[in-house]
């Protein structure tokens, strides 16, 4: 496997002639935890959706394990997402008439690479790890926001993706639930899963290996925890957060 999980070269995206992303280039290495920060409307979510193949960029190239995403058909892109990517969002959006456990096993059943027995065992292990095994058979409307987000992480992880994308996953949570979710994400990353997260919360960002700061659709600055000469606090102050 390539060391570079994702390579982004000269990425541009515009809507109705309005440029949202402009010549964005960076790489994400396998096992890295990258956070994209920026003010509202700077293009960070657009960047995440383009990188994860949910949206097609207007310009530039995205290589995922050296495969050019723009060359993939919709069908190939769907397969890639199902097998190699996981997603978590601010609003988890579950299938209403299914229980928590059913929602979690759903993508793995869909992929069909393992027996259902193995999938259920995986799901139970995940739910235990995330502390939601007690609500496995619950209606999704009968659990807390934090439990729901942890269930969303379980669902995203059920197919053992190479990379987990997150769009403001803690945006609707209180501080204690945010901490719990971030602890889990940190653990997932520690176990080897690459993470790319969009957030505007500095507390969330500080868990990452690298922070990319976007402004007006361009990368304005970047912070690397291991190699930076300044502390995260100083860097945040420097970019005005």
Partner 1 sequence: MYFKLLKNDFKKNPTSNLILLLFMSLSVTIAVTVTLMLTQLFTSINDMYKTANPPHFLQMHKGEIVQSDIDKFNKSYEGIEYWQTVPMITVNGNELTVSDESKDKFSLSDCRLDISLVKQNDKYDVLLDENKNKLKIKTGEIGIPVILLDEFDIALGDKITLSDGDVTKTFTVASYVYDGQMNSTLCSSTRFLISDEDFNALLGDVGETEYLIEAYFTDSSLADDYQTAYEQSDKNLPKNGQAITYTMIFLLSALTDLIMAMVFILTGVLLIAIAVLCLRYVVLAQLEDDMREIGTMKAIGVSQKGICKLYLGKIRILMAAGCVTGFGFSLLLSTLLTEHISRTFGEQPLDIRCFILAVLVCALVYAVILLFTRKILNRLQKSSVTDLLITEKGFEKTKKVKDGLHKSRHMPLNLLIALKEVRKGYGIIFGLLLIVSFLVIVPIRTVQTMESSQFVTYMGSPICDLMLEVEQGADLEKRNSTAEEILLDEAEQGNIESIETLRRVRLQALKNDGEVVGIHIDSGKSAGSGLKYLYGEKPKAATEIALSYLVSEDLEKTAGDRIILIVNGEEREFTVCGIYQDVTSGGKTAKTVCSFPEESAEKYTYYINMPDSKILQQSVDSLRAQFNSGYSIENMEEFVGQTLGGVSSRVNLAAYAVFFIGTVLTALIVTLFMKLRIARQGGTLAAKRTMGIPFKVICRQELYPVLIAGGLGTFAGAVLAELFGDNMISVLFEMLGVGLKQIEFAGVSFLQYLVIPALLPAVLTAVTYGICRSIKKINIQDYFND
Edge-first strand listing for the sheet containing 33-38 = 85-89, 163-167, 194-198, 33-38, 210-215, 218-224
| 202-216 b/e (C-beta count within 10 Å ≥ 16 → b) | eebbebbbbbbbbbe
Query: Of 7, 23, 106, 179, which one interacts with partner 1 (CB under 8 A)?
Result: 106
| Residue pair 103/151 in contact by the 8 Å Cβ criterion | yes
Binders of partner 1 in range 36-55 (CB under 8 A): 45-46, 49, 52, 54-55
**Using the rule CB under 8 A, is 175 a contact of partner 1?**
no
Give the three-state DSSP class for 211. strand
Number of residues that bind partner 1 (CB under 8 A): 54
Q: Binding of partner 1 at residue 149 (CB under 8 A)?
A: no
The least distance separating partner 1 from the CB of residue 238, rounded to whole angstroms, comes to: 27
Q: Does 87 bind partner 1 (CB under 8 A)?
A: yes
Interacting residue with partner 1 among 24, 51, 69, 105 (CB under 8 A): 105
C-alpha 212/C-alpha 62 separation (Å) is 17
> Per CB under 8 A, does 154 bind partner 1?
no
SS in 3 state form for 4-68?
EEEEEEEEEEEECCEEEEEEEEEEEECCCEEEEEECCCCCHHHHHHHHCCCCCCCEEEEEECCEE
Q: Does 25 bind partner 1 (CB under 8 A)?
A: no
104 binds partner 1 (CB under 8 A): yes
| C-beta closer to partner 1: residue 158 or 235 | 158
> Does the footprint of partner 1 cover residue 102 (CB under 8 A)?
yes
| Of 21-29, 166-174, 183-191, 223-231: span binding partner 1 (CB under 8 A) | 166-174
Whose tokens are 């992303």? That residue is 21
Phi, psi of 34 (to 5 degrees): -115, 135
- Using CB under 8 A, pick the residue from 1, 141, 226, 227 that binds partner 1: 141
Residue 66 Ramachandran class (φ > 0 left, ψ -120 to 50 alpha, else beta)? left
Residue 219: closest CA among 11, 65, 55: 11
The interface region with partner 1, picked from 65-73, 80-88, 177-185, 216-224 by CB under 8 A, is 80-88
Q: Smallest distance from the beta carbon of 116 to partner 1, in angstroms?
A: 5
Q: Counting contacts by CB under 8 A, is residue 24 touching partner 1?
A: no
- Counting contacts by CB under 8 A, is residue 16 touching partner 1? no
Distance in angstroms (rounded) separating the CA atoms of residues 96 and 134: 19
Site residues (vs partner 1, CB under 8 A): 45-46, 49, 52, 54-55, 74-75, 77-83, 85, 87, 89-99, 101-102, 104-107, 109-110, 112, 116-117, 119-120, 123, 136-142, 155, 167-168, 171-172
């Amino acid at each position: 496997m390539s060391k570079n999980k994702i390579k982004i070269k000269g990425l541009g995206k515009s809507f109705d002639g309005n440029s949202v992303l402009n010549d964005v280039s960076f790489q994400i290495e396998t096992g890295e935890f990258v956070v994209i920060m920026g003010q509202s409307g700077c293009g960070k979510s657009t960047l995440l959706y383009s990188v994860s193949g949910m949206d097609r960029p207007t310009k530039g190239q995205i290589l995922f394990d050296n495969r050019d995403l723009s060359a993939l058909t919709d069908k190939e892109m769907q397969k890639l997402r199902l097998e190699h990517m996981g997603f978590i969002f601010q609003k988890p959006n579950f299938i209403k008439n299914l229980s928590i456990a059913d929602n979690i096993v759903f993508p793995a059943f869909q992929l069909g690479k393992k027996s259902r027995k193995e999938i259920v065992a995986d799901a139970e292990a995940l739910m235990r790890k995330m502390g939601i095994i007690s609500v496995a058979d619950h209606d999704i409307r009968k659990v807390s926001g934090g439990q729901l987000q942890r269930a969303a992480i379980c669902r995203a992880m059920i197919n053992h993706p190479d990379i987990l994308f997150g769009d403001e996953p803690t945006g609707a949570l209180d501080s204690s639930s945010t901490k719990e979710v971030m602890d889990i994400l940190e653990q997932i990353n520690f176990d080897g899963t690459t993470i790319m997260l969009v957030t505007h919360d500095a507390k969330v960002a500080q868990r990452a290996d690298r922070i990319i700061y976007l402004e007006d659709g361009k990368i304005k600055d970047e912070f690397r925890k291991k190699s930076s000469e300044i502390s995260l606090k100083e860097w945040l102050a420097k970019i005005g957060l």
